[in-house]
A and B are shown apart, each in its own frame.
Chain A
């Protein structure tokens, strides 16, 4: 059922100060599937996601041990060139954070910093990625407007398009629908189902129904540990662990 894996996490431990946030994480994330990291709030889901492209660097009090392999390279090795590796993973945050510039420049930002300057190429890319997230028709006449003028749902789709613009292999999404209304949430979910044909998607959520709708593979976390992981079928139909069972049934309190 699950073929190759794109990310291998081996013995990952993470401390913030003297709090043990992630405890001995060992898991493989399958390629070109939608993996959901599921679990109650505050169990370390987001921290695990941010370790994957080492955004944990931004927090000086975070200490990590262990290895995360992507294409044979250990992401956590401080000697590697992290900038290029980060480009392989698009990020979608809890609520949209458009860059303080126009809609057009939000999409071209990643391309411009990697040296693409030709106007015609950039314009074509902008249209392509905005179509990917079905935003093109809504914004094609006001590409020069500030991105902050869009609605929250549109901003989140713009952020997704921005993430796609540097041509990543993986999309990391941290509760991407938590700030959105039901219609916009559904749009993001549908986009994910479409995009997983070509990208590996790792999505953090605490919404069980959302996980049921979209997941191929589920990692269930509780208090910084992976309790159980497996295909969506296994986890939702036949969970082994008591905590997982309780959470899936909704009796978890």
Chain B
């Protein structure tokens, strides 16, 4: 009787052990499958469009006339790229210099004060950034355009990029602070004891060491900026055209999807076209992620 209960106990234990491992495996497989499920869904939904148009035509044509069945995504792709790269060009140096200042120059309590400020910035809903953009940045950009003798409503690529830059700064900055904080202080000591100044140490040693982290933070910034929808949509103008300057209105891909999905789906192929826009977004963001990962791996072998 007694030996039986011990056996029973053992069996139950093993069973529980195996079961818990099984659930963990299920969860991780679910997450692993997620991007593939998304990709397949998008491919299936947009496949109708491929039947009628070639990929080249879809990407490089700038004729967007859904009513006559013409879907050229070039203006949207260009708008997205413009907005993304201007925003990262604004955010990157600001974040890098701030992170260096906070970790290398500032007293410790300054960093302690900054941390919650950064978290607050990161937590603000994007629609608030959009409203702020309309109230402050739109008139500002319109005025700045005036200085360059360009007439602009203020709803433009540059406005979108500025709002985006402010939105991605907390994310990029958080990573950069972490990156610089984890560099061992002994590395600074070694460089200083060789007669380097503080700035030389930061430029030639610390930033070199931080390089993979810097690339990955910028990669994250680009991915976020490329996909950000609401705030950009509110300030970028949403005109289908290839913008010829930063004061012109643009129409990025996420705005296209958000503005039109569920609206004019009676037009043939229209929902398929919007799915294709989503597919482009997906592929480009994945490409940026993989690219920055590749740079990081390649570089880490070298140092």
Can you list, as one digit per residue, whether each of B160-189 has a CB less than 8 Å from chain A (1) or not (0)? Answer: 000000000000000000000000111111
Cross-chain contact A166 with B303 (CB below 8 angstroms):
no
A53 to B192, CA, bound (A): 10
Asked if residues B194 and A87 are in contact (CB atoms below 8 Å), the reply is yes
Q: Which residue of A lies closest to B191 (CB)?
A: A99
Contact A99 B193 (CB under 8 A): no
Q: Given the interface contacts A99-B205, A100-B209, does A159 sit within 8 Å of B190 by beta carbon?
A: yes
Partner of A97 from the list B108, B186, B200 (CB cut-off 8 Å) is: B186
Contacts of A73 in B (CB 8 A): none
Q: Known interface pairs A100-B209, A101-B303, A148-B303. Does A61 touch B194 (Cβ–Cβ under 8 Å)?
A: no
Nearest-neighbour CB distance to chain A for B302, whole angstroms, equals: 6
- Is B189 a contact of A61 with CB atoms below 8 Å? no
Q: Check B108 against A114 for contact (C-beta < 8 Å).
A: no
Which residues of A have CB within 8 Å of B108? 60-61
- The 3 A-B pairs of least Cβ separation, nearest first, read A87-B195, A110-B194, A91-B193
A2 within 8 A of B: no
| B residues less than 8 Å from A53 (CB atoms) | 193
Q: Give the shortest distance, in Å, between B295 (CB) and chain A (any CB).
A: 15
Count the A-B residue pairs with Cβ separation under 8 angstroms: how many?
77
Please tell me which one of the listed residues A50, A84, A146, A162 contacts residue B190 in the complex, with CB atoms under 8 A apart.
A162
- Partner-B contacts on A (CB < 8 A): 50, 53, 55, 58, 60-61, 83-84, 86-87, 89-91, 93-95, 97, 99-101, 109-110, 113-114, 146, 148, 159, 162-163, 165-166, 172
> For chain A, what secondary structure do more than half of its interface residues adopt (helix, strand, loop), or is it mixed?
mixed
A58-B185, A100-B208, A172-B193 are known; give 13 further A-B pairs, CB within 8 A.
A50-B189, A55-B192, A83-B196, A86-B193, A87-B195, A90-B193, A91-B193, A97-B184, A99-B190, A162-B190, A163-B193, A166-B194, A166-B195
Across the interface, which residues of B come within 8 angstroms of A163, CB to CB? 193-194
- CA distance in complex: A55, B200 (Å): 16
Which residues from 188 to 242 on chain B have a C-beta closer than 8 Å to any C-beta of chain A?
A: 188-197, 200, 204-205, 208-209
User: Do A97 and B193 form a contact, CB below 8 Å, given A109-B204, A148-B303?
Assistant: no
Question: Which B residue sits closest to A114, measured CB to CB?
Answer: B195
Question: Which A residue's beta carbon lies closest to that of B189?
Answer: A55
Contact for A146 among B187, B188, B191, B303, CB less than 8 A: B303
User: Of all chain B residues, which has the CB nearest A91?
Assistant: B193
Task: Return the chain B residue nearest A89 by Cβ.
Answer: B193
CB-CB < 8 A to A93: which residues of B? 186, 189-190
List the B side residues contacting A83 at CB < 8 Å: 192, 195-197
- The reply on B65 being an interface residue by CB < 8 A is no
B184 engages A113 (CB within 8 Å): no
Known contacts A58-B185, A93-B186; A100 and B303 CB within 8 A of each other: yes
A95 to B185 CA separation, bound complex (whole angstroms): 12
Closest residue of chain A to B302 (Cβ to Cβ) is A146
Q: Chain A residue with minimal CB distance to B207?
A: A100
**B residues within 8 A CB of A60?**
107-108
Chain A residues positioned under 8 Å from B208 (CB to CB):
99-101
User: Contact: B205 with A100, CB < 8 Å?
Assistant: yes
Give Cα distance in the complex from A97 to B303, angstroms: 12
Q: Which residues of B contact A61 (CB under 8 A)?
A: 108
Residue of B nearest to A93 (CB): B186
Shortest Cβ distance from B73 into chain A, in angstroms?
42
- Cα separation A83 to B208 with both chains bound (whole Å): 21
Query: Measured between alpha carbons, how far is A55 from B196 in the docked complex, in Å?
Result: 12
Closest chain-B Cβ to A1's Cβ sits at a distance in Å of 30
Q: Closest A-chain residue to B196, C-beta based?
A: A113
Compute how far the CA of A107 lies from the CA of B196 in the bound complex, rounded to whole angstroms.
14
Are A86 and B195 also in contact (CB < 8 A) when A61-B108, A93-B186, A99-B187 are?
yes
Alpha-carbon distance A93/B187, docked complex (angstroms): 10
C-alpha spacing A114/B209, complex, angstroms: 21
Cβ contact within 8 Å between B194 and A109: yes
Contact of B192 among A86, A101, A114 (CB under 8 A): A86
Least CB distance, B202 to chain A, in whole angstroms: 12
Chain B residues, Cβ within 8 Å of A100: 187, 205, 208-209, 303
